[in-house]
Amino acid sequence: MPSDEWLDGAQYKRNLSKRRILGLAILQKVVIFGTGVFAEVAHFYLTHDSDYKVVAFTVDRKFIKRKHFLDLPLVPFESVQKTYPPGKFKMFVAVGYKNLNKTRAAKYAEAKSKGYSLITYISSRCVHWGDTKIGDNCFIFENQTIQPFVKIGNDVVIWSGNHIGHHSTIGDHCFISSHVVISGNTKIGSYCFLGVNATLRDGISIAEKCIIGAGALIMRDTKKGTVYIGKAGELYSNDSSKF
Ligand SMILES: CC(C)(COP(=O)(O)OP(=O)(O)OC[C@H]1O[C@@H](n2cnc3c(N)ncnc32)[C@H](O)[C@@H]1OP(=O)(O)O)[C@@H](O)C(=O)NCCC(=O)NCCS
């Protein structure tokens, strides 16, 4: 990870475009695993807001229906190291939360066993203090507030606009969607999924493999493998023409 990723977002972006204009940016070449929505989004963010250059996509051979994706070569994962050797190319596994993140975790492990370094992207518009301990194959979108002393494991996706309170820990292979409030000192076990607008009170532990549904308010520790939901909006007696 380039050390200047820890600059504040705007400064990082200015430095990046200056280096690109001057031809000084050393763009590291990356192959993305996946051809789904997340892969398309990851390609966009890496192209517009990073020192990485996406050069190809890869998926399992049985899923290859064409030779290109987003105008870049699409090659079988089984033999990707022949065309894009791990010594020269890095990889990012862009798979969503399907199967409670286990599909992404499996491909993450396979990519590592093939010898690839897995990149971590942090948006230049993410607010953090530069001391966040963060693993590989993470993708951190814009408008986060990541407070000091936060630790984020490997293969964690943090979609846009979350609050991650001080001293919180997020385990490996988690997916945090958007506008989630993780209060300070919270521990999130591995393979968890947190839906939009979920709220976790401070100091609790979310056990591994939990699903916290959209809008749920969690006030106590959870048990491994459980699902929590909040209360859905109710239909009001008057229709909108009355207002
Ligand atoms: C918790 C969750 C995984 C359950 O999924 P599911 O079992 O497929 O649930 P369904 O959508 O079939 O809903 C079943 C019932 O539970 C209710 N329900 C489901 N999730 C709910 C939630 N988060 N809050 C309140 N009620 C919920 C539904 O309203 C529905 O009620 P009904 O039978 O009275 O109509 C899911 O609803 C959820 O919250 N997903 C997260 C969505 C999200 O954040 N998406 C962003 C992705 S980036």
Domain ranges of the chain: 3-119
- Residue 26: the pLDDT is 75
- Residue 131: the pLDDT is 87
- Residue 27: the pLDDT is 87
Tokens describing residue 160: 């846009």
18-51: per-residue pLDDT in tens? 666 666 667 899 999 999 999 999 999 999 999 9
Closest CA to 190 of 207, 165, 211, 202: 207
- Residue 13: the pLDDT is 58
Instruction: Indicate which atom in ligand 1 lies nearest the CA of residue 196.
Output: 44
What does the DSSP 8-state code read for residue 207?
P
- Residue 110: the pLDDT is 98
- Residue 17: the pLDDT is 58
The segments of the chain whose pLDDT lies below 50 read 1-7, 9
Pocket test for ligand 1, best of 100, 177, 199, 229 (most atoms within 8 A of CB): 229
Tokens describing residue 11: 């400064």
Q: How far, rounded to the nearest angstrom, does the alpha carbon of residue 31 sit from its chain's CA centroid? A: 16
Instruction: Indicate which atom in ligand 1 lies nearest the CA of residue 175.
Output: 48
**Inter-residue contact 190 to 153 (CB < 8 Å):** yes
Query: Can you give the pTM of this predicted structure?
Result: 0.92
Rounded Cα distance between 134 and 123, Å, is 14
- Residue 162: the pLDDT is 98
Residue nearest to atom 40 of ligand 1 (CA): 213
Find out whether the beta carbon of 195 lies less than 6 Å from any atom of ligand 1.
Answer: yes
Find out whether the beta carbon of 211 lies less than 6 Å from any atom of ligand 1.
Answer: yes
Instruction: Indicate which atom in ligand 1 lies nearest the CA of residue 227.
Output: 1
What CATH topology corresponds to 3-119? Rossmann fold (3.40.50)
Find out whether the beta carbon of 214 lies less than 6 Å from any atom of ligand 1.
Answer: yes
Which SS3 state, helix, strand or coil, does residue 67 take? coil
Rounded Cα distance between 50 and 27, Å, is 8
Rounded Cα distance between 170 and 88, Å, is 30
Residue nearest to atom 5 of ligand 1 (CA): 213
Calculate how far, in angstroms, residue 231's C-alpha sits from the geometric centre of ligand 1. Answer: 10
Calculate how far, in angstroms, residue 105's C-alpha sits from the geometric centre of ligand 1. Answer: 24
Find out whether the beta carbon of 215 lies less than 6 Å from any atom of ligand 1.
Answer: yes
- Residue 179: the pLDDT is 98
Residue nearest to atom 25 of ligand 1 (CA): 232
Instruction: Indicate which atom in ligand 1 lies nearest the CA of residue 198.
Output: 44
Percent of the chain with pLDDT over 90: 88
Find out whether the beta carbon of 232 lies less than 6 Å from any atom of ligand 1.
Answer: yes
